[in-house]
Amino acid sequence: MSELWVLSGIAVMVLGFVLRFNPLLVVVAAAGVTGLAAGLDLHAIVSAFGKAFNDTRYVSVVWIVLPVIGLLEAHGLQERARGVIASLKGATTGRLLTGYLLIRQISAALGLTSVAGHAQTVRPLVAPMAEAAAEGQAELTEDQREEVKAMSAATDNVGLFFGEDIFIAIGSILLMVGFLEQQGITLSPFELSVWAIPTAFAAFFIHGFRLWRLDRRLDRKGAGQ
């Protein structure tokens, strides 16, 4: 019966989500409760996360930084991000997200795919900043707020997806090289990476145009008020 206490972390997670607590803190608390129920002390729990990451890489670095992000959010990270962008003259949602798209594509092309992401960057920083910029353009409806948040997440997806293929050591490039080789087509990773550059440029301009249209819609709404 005592072995069932190890499952108490699941109950903590369910309860936390039902009560609408911060998801990051709920996940960390559930992991801590599970470790304590298994007889581990706090040092052993943290060591288990670190050992799993270093030895097997099964634990993504995103989950390692979740406690830090949770603490920063609890101490007003999102509010500070919103305040910074609101104080900048001429800042718009489209311009902000276009700049983030450029940074995300370049960093992904250099192999730095974990530098940014939804958990580390979009939710605590980019989305609040984009929302604050949109509030400076127009009085937002709830649907428009959700659209700005969705566009923030989409910008990260586009930047990562079309930027990482330029890096020759990324898994997708190596997978394509192996598949083509099985079909009798011999290409080097570098050749595929070179041909990913035009696609990345196209993705940047297409998504940049979508962001420009978002700005136009917000500006028209603001002018009509």
Q: Within this chain, do residues 127 and 169 fall inside the same structural domain, yes or no?
A: yes
Does residue 70 belong to any structural domain of this protein? Answer: no
Residue 179: pLDDT over 50: yes
Q: Within this chain, do residues 52 and 88 fall inside the same structural domain, yes or no?
A: no
For the chain, give the mean pLDDT: 80
Q: Answer for the pair 117, 62: CB distance below 8 angstroms, yes or no.
A: yes
* pLDDT tens-place string over residues 106-149: 999 998 888 788 878 888 888 888 888 888 887 888 888 899 99
Residue that is last in its domain, among 35, 65, 95: 65
% the chain with pLDDT above 70:
78
Q: Within this chain, do residues 58 and 94 fall inside the same structural domain, yes or no?
A: no
Joined together, the tokens standing for residue 216 give 């136009």
Residue 52: pLDDT over 80: no
Q: Which of 128, 44, 54 is nearest to 93 (CA)?
A: 128
Does residue 177 belong to any structural domain of this protein? Answer: yes
DSSP code per residue over 47-85: HHHHHHHHHH--S-HHHHSHHHHHHHHHTTHHHHHHHHH
Model confidence band, residue 58 (pLDDT cutoffs 50, 70, 90):
very low
Lowest mean pLDDT among 14-28, 141-155, 175-189, 206-220: 14-28
State how far the Cα of 108 lies from the Cα of 165, in Å rounded to an integer. Answer: 8
Q: Within this chain, do residues 108 and 197 fall inside the same structural domain, yes or no?
A: yes
Structural domain total, the chain: 2
Does residue 71 belong to any structural domain of this protein? Answer: no
Q: Within this chain, do residues 12 and 81 fall inside the same structural domain, yes or no?
A: no
Q: Within this chain, do residues 122 and 153 fall inside the same structural domain, yes or no?
A: yes
Cα torsion 197, 198, 199, 203: sign: positive
For residues 63 and 24, which has the higher predicted lDDT (pLDDT)? 24
Instruction: Output the pTM of the full model.
Output: 0.64
Name the residue range of residue 173's domain.
76-223
State how far the Cα of 149 lies from the Cα of 125, in Å rounded to an integer. Answer: 11
